[in-house]
C-alpha cells in the first residue's frame, strides 16, 4: 500500500470555489458560522460536495440517536485511520454531546467500549469496515441482542459510506485539521 500523496486538493472559499459549489458553501457558512476544511476541500468537486451533503442529511435523519451517530462515524474513521475525521468526531462527541473521555478513547484505541450497547454498535461498524462489508453473524446477533433492530444494520452502511467518502479523500489528499479539532489529534 502506497502512502504517497498523488493529488493535493486545497480547501476552497466561497470566492475560490467552482460556481456550482458556491451556494452550498454559503449555506454551510450561514448555518455553521464557518466552513469546515472537509467541506471546503470537497468543494473542489461540486458533485462530491453535494453527494456528501445529501448523504449526510439522510444519515442525520436516521433512527440512531445523535451520540450513536457520532460513535458510528468515529468508529468508521478510526478503523480507516483518518486523522481528520477521527479528530472531528471526537471533538463533537466530547464538546457537543458531552460523551465521557473513556468512551471516545476506547473507540480511537480499539479497546472494548465500557457501555455494552455502544460496544455492540462500535464492534459491528469496525468489523464491517475492516471486512469490507463482511461481518460475522455473531457480531450482528450481538448488535441485535443489544437492543438494535435488524434494519439498523443497513442504516449503518449509510454512515460507513459517508465516512468512506471523507476518509478516503483524506487519504488521497490530507485535509488540514480545523483549529477546533486540533486538540484531538494527539489523544
CATH 1.10.3470.10 fits 66-184, yes or no: no
* Sequential pLDDT tens for the chain (187 residues): 555 556 799 999 999 999 999 999 999 999 999 999 999 999 999 999 999 999 999 999 999 999 999 999 999 999 999 999 999 999 999 999 999 999 999 999 999 999 999 999 999 999 999 999 999 999 999 999 999 999 999 999 999 999 999 999 999 999 999 999 988 887 6
Please give the Cα distance from 61 to 41 (Å, whole number).
24
Residue keyed to cell 477546533: 180
Phi, psi at 62, each rounded to 5°? -80, -170
**Alpha-carbon 57 to chain mean position:** 13
User: What is the domain partition of the chain in residue ranges?
Assistant: 22-60, 66-184
Report field, pTM of the whole predicted structure over 0.75: yes
User: How far apart are alpha carbons 116 and 118 in whole angstroms?
Assistant: 6
CB neighbours of 159 closer than 8 A, spacing ≥ 6?
59, 62, 64, 69, 72, 73, 76, 125
Amino acid at each position: 500500500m502506497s502512502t504517497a500523496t498523488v493529488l493535493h486538493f486545497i480547501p476552497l472559499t466561497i470566492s475560490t470555489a467552482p460556481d456550482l459549489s458556491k451556494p452550498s458553501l454559503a449555506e454551510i457558512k450561514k448555518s455553521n458560522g464557518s466552513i469546515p476544511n472537509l467541506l471546503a476541500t470537497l468543494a473542489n468537486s461540486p458533485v462530491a460536495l453535494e453527494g456528501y451533503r445529501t448523504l449526510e442529511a439522510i444519515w442525520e435523519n436516521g433512527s440512531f440517536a445523535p451520540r450513536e451517530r457520532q460513535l458510528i462515524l468515529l468508529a468508521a474513521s478510526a478503523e480507516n485511520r483518518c486523522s481528520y475525521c477521527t479528530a472531528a468526531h471526537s471533538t463533537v462527541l466530547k464538546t457537543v454531546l458531552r460523551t465521557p473521555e473513556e468512551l471516545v478513547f476506547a473507540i480511537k484505541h480499539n479497546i472494548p467500549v465500557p457501555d455494552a450497547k455502544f460496544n455492540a454498535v462500535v464492534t459491528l461498524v469496525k468489523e464491517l469496515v475492516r471486512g469490507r462489508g463482511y461481518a460475522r453473524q455473531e457480531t450482528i446477533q450481538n448488535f441485535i441482542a443489544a437492543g438494535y433492530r435488524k434494519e439498523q444494520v443497513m442504516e449503518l452502511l449509510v454512515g460507513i459510506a459517508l465516512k468512506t467518502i471523507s476518509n478516503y479523500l483524506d487519504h488521497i489528499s490530507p485535509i488540514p485539521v480545523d483549529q477546533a479539532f486540533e486538540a484531538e489529534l494527539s489523544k
